[in-house]
Amino acid sequence: MKSFNELNSWVKDMAVLCSPDQIYWCDGSEEENEQFLRELTATGKTIPLNPEKRPGSYAFFSDPSDVARVEDRTFISSRFKEDAGPTNNWIEPTILKETMMGLYRGSMRGRTMYVIPFMMGPFGSPLSKIGIQLTDSLYVVVNMRIMTRMGRQVLDKLNDLKWFIPCLHSVGYPLLPGQTDLPWPSAPIEKKYIAHFPEEKLIWSYGSGYGGNALLGKKCLALRIASVIAREENWMAEHMLILKLTNPEGKVKYILGAFPSACGKTNLSMLVPTLPGWKVETIGDDIAWLWIKEDGHLYAINPEAGFFGVAKGTSYESNPNAMMSIRKNTIFTNVALTDDLDVWWEGIDGPTPNHLKDWKQEDWTPEKKTPAAHPNSRFTVSAKQCPVIADEWENPEGVMISAILVGGRRPTTIPLVHESLSFNHGVFMGSMMGSEITAASISNQIGVVRRDPFAMLPFIGYHVGDYLKHWLDMGKLSNDALLPKIYYVNWFRKDEEGDFLWPGFGHNSRVLKWIFERSEGTAKAKVTPIGNMPTMDALDIRGMSLKPGAMESLLEVNTNAWLEEVASLKVYYQSIGSKMPQELMDELEKLETRLKFMTV
């Protein structure tokens, strides 16, 4: 964090280091944005889409090596390794800074350094934070304008807020005299660094232009650095959607959901219920900042202003509200293009076209075996364009939370839904989360199940043991009666044939209904060794077709499978080391005892 007075000298120092040809302060205006998009078009970095089909929208195609977050190249550079913990990459800060200064030296030659003032959180919220990102990528500028509250009005707020989080970003591809630019400049993988300095609250990102690596307000600031600040200031920064659920009588509840990347947050946050009379509206689709107010309840704001959503698989059938959000003024990255310059991806509605340009800009026909759109292709769109954005989504006071969902891709063992027995048991449920690795990060282990506590594994800015302790400590600021219950959900359980047992998407409203009614005290539940679960008749599955026996499998607690889970969790907890909170080890032991001795 730096004080307002240091802003100009910091910008100047970074310019001396990176040697851009010029410095440009972004004002965030419409005219400025149009000028940037004209420039991106003229230099061949983007393709404007057919204005009849997709007005105001643009397609970008990344370098094939720069398609997702790079977890192997992401660093928590605290002074001591112990503070970064066993799950983060760590390099001692003076060493990392020296290495990165070497890379930044002259890295913006031949380019402009854009200064982006941005706000995370609604104007006027007690949690909102200001960041200033310096970048040599116009793609980043036009995306940050959608994803954050960006522009001149933020600098006015700097007077009041006094502090800002400095974020330095370079794609790492300087232009020497006479050198032509690439459509998507970036640096080779071994030169990429996504670095966080938690003591200084400083972000340095080098070598990548994609998503969370480059739009520094998102994962770097609103999760990794914010999680460090939140721990110091008694609040929480979480990888969670926020939704508003209204029942047929018009009663409203707000629900959080922590699912790992590409596990259904955007989809759930704007779901169209298949249950008549129920309504879901969106507050946020990826990040929530949470705090406990004096009334003892948990409140949430969405620090972002837009959605950076997974394109692949999005359709009018799976997520109509996302499809309606992206009809205009949308940036698409790594999707395929139709011959009449509209977007296409695997899973979109309608027949597969006979000819496309794929995300590598090559001709594509259905015979081609490779996917036309990259699995981590994305759309960037303002939250204001979502037809079900809730009226109160920018309320600086936040919304009061009634339930927290946790979950991930678990083909076996974990049932459709189970409910925490206490707040600490709920934290235990979050701590044991696991999920199959998805294409949202670059990995050769896609599909392998890994532990991902509260979906925060790649986003905790400090020691994972301290993070779990912080959850427990937050619980101590209030009491179980006022805090939301935690629900472990699993939309991804599979049958023997490898098909999903639960149809998911809009049908998830049936689970939301049970959760809503649990918090009202009206829904039926049975006690099981793992927590409270709906009785076979408690879930409203009217009008739904499930395979015979599917419901039994979805609500099954297989003792042997769970005892294996317990054994694997013991190993996992050990890997966290001495900072693993005793309360959670106690919860694990209690679970084991219940599994062994409880009769249901």
- Which stretch in 285-293, 349-357, 377-385, 465-473 sits in contact with Mn ion by CB under 5 A? 285-293
Contacts of 564 (CB under 8 A, 6+ apart): 413
Considering only residues 495 to 534 of the shown chain, the ones binding ligand GTP according to CB under 6 A are 500, 504-505, 508
Cβ proximity to ligand SPV: between 219 and 463 the closer is 219
Residue 453 sits in the site that holds ligand SPV (CB under 6 A):
no
Which of 213, 266, 380, 509 touches ligand GTP by CB under 6 A? 266
Residue 208 CA to residue 171 CA, distance in Å, equals 5
Question: Rg of the chain over CA atoms, in angstroms?
Answer: 24
Which of 56, 106, 313, 371 touches ligand GTP by CB under 6 A? 313
For the chain, how long is the longest CA-to-CA vector? 77
Q: Which residue among the candidates 18, 26, 220, 263 is catalytic per the annotation?
A: 263
CA distances, 549 to each of 260, 539, 540 (Å):
28, 15, 16
Considering only residues 252 to 311 of the shown chain, the ones binding ligand SPV according to CB under 6 A are 261, 286, 308
DSSP letter at 498 equals S
- Which stretch in 259-267, 465-473, 530-538, 542-550 sits in contact with ligand GTP by CB under 6 A? 259-267
Q: What is the 3-state secondary structure (H, E, C) of 263-281?
A: CCHHHHHCCCCCCCCCEEE
Residue 555 CA to residue 531 CA, distance in Å, equals 12
Considering only residues 49 to 88 of the shown chain, the ones binding ligand SPV according to CB under 6 A are 69
Residue nearest to Mn ion (CB): 286
Cβ proximity to ligand SPV: between 321 and 424 the closer is 321
Q: Tell me which of ligand SPV, Mn ion, ligand GTP, none is bound by residue 313, counting a contact when its beta carbon lies within the kind-specific cut-off of 5 to 8 angstroms.
A: ligand GTP
> Are the CB atoms for 405 and 271 separated by under 8 Å?
no
Please indicate whether residue 263 is annotated as part of the active site: yes
Cβ proximity to ligand SPV: between 438 and 532 the closer is 438
Cβ proximity to Mn ion: between 286 and 342 the closer is 286
Residue nearest to ligand GTP (CB): 504
Q: Tell me which of Mn ion, ligand SPV, ligand GTP, none is bound by residue 504, counting a contact when its beta carbon lies within the kind-specific cut-off of 5 to 8 angstroms.
A: ligand GTP
Residue 218 sits in the site that holds ligand SPV (CB under 6 A):
yes
Residue 265 sits in the site that holds ligand GTP (CB under 6 A):
yes
Binding mask 242-261 for ligand SPV (x = CB under 6 A): -------------------x
DSSP letter at 301 equals E
Pairing of strands 202-206, 163-170: parallel
Which of 328, 370, 377 minimizes the C-alpha distance to 348? Answer: 377
Q: Tell me which of Mn ion, ligand GTP, ligand SPV, none is bound by residue 325, counting a contact when its beta carbon lies within the kind-specific cut-off of 5 to 8 angstroms.
A: none
Residue 452 sits in the site that holds Mn ion (CB under 5 A):
no
Cβ proximity to Mn ion: between 333 and 553 the closer is 333
> Are the CB atoms for 52 and 58 separated by under 8 Å?
no
In angstroms, what is the minimal distance from the CB of 333 to ligand GTP?
12
At 332, which helix (H) or strand (E)? strand 331-333
In angstroms, what is the minimal distance from the CB of 285 to ligand SPV?
9
In angstroms, what is the minimal distance from the CB of 58 to Mn ion?
22
- Which stretch in 174-182, 211-219, 537-545, 552-560 sits in contact with ligand SPV by CB under 6 A? 211-219
Residue 440 sits in the site that holds ligand SPV (CB under 6 A):
yes
Residue 407 sits in the site that holds ligand GTP (CB under 6 A):
no
Angle at 428 between CA 423 and CA 432, to 5 degrees: 150
CA distances, 580 to each of 423, 463, 588, 598 (Å):
17, 10, 12, 27
**What φ, ψ does residue 408 adopt, rounded to 5°?**
-170, -170
How many residues bind ligand SPV (CB under 6 A)? The answer is 9
In angstroms, what is the minimal distance from the CB of 138 to ligand GTP?
23
What six digits make up the tokens of 430? 């979050």
Residue 71 CA to residue 441 CA, distance in Å, equals 7
Cβ proximity to ligand GTP: between 385 and 422 the closer is 385
Residue 401 CA to residue 244 CA, distance in Å, equals 9
Q: Where are the beta strands (DSSP E) in 227-373?
A: 236-238, 241-246, 252-258, 279-284, 288-292, 298-301, 306-310, 331-333, 336-338, 343-344, 356-357, 363-364
Pairing of strands 279-284, 252-258: unpaired
Residue 316 sits in the site that holds ligand GTP (CB under 6 A):
no
In angstroms, what is the minimal distance from the CB of 300 to Mn ion?
16
Count CB neighbours of 547 within 10 A. Answer: 11
CA distances, 536 to each of 204, 290, 415, 487, 499 (Å):
52, 34, 13, 17, 22
In angstroms, what is the minimal distance from the CB of 567 to ligand GTP?
28
Considering only residues 233 to 272 of the shown chain, the ones binding Mn ion according to CB under 5 A are 261
Q: Tell me which of Mn ion, ligand GTP, ligand SPV, none is bound by residue 212, counting a contact when its beta carbon lies within the kind-specific cut-off of 5 to 8 angstroms.
A: ligand SPV
Contacts of 277 (CB under 8 A, 6+ apart): 247, 248
Which of 286, 452, 517, 587 touches Mn ion by CB under 5 A? 286
Cβ proximity to Mn ion: between 244 and 378 the closer is 378
Count CB neighbours of 190 within 10 A. Answer: 9
What six digits make up the tokens of 135? 């970048």
Residue 533 CA to residue 23 CA, distance in Å, equals 58
Q: Given the rule CB under 6 A, which residues bind ligand SPV?
A: 69, 211-212, 218-219, 261, 286, 308, 440
Q: Given the rule CB under 6 A, which residues bind ligand GTP?
A: 259, 261-267, 285-286, 309-310, 312-313, 440, 491-492, 500, 504-505, 508
Q: Given the rule CB under 5 A, which residues bind Mn ion?
A: 261, 286
Enzyme catalytic residues: 263
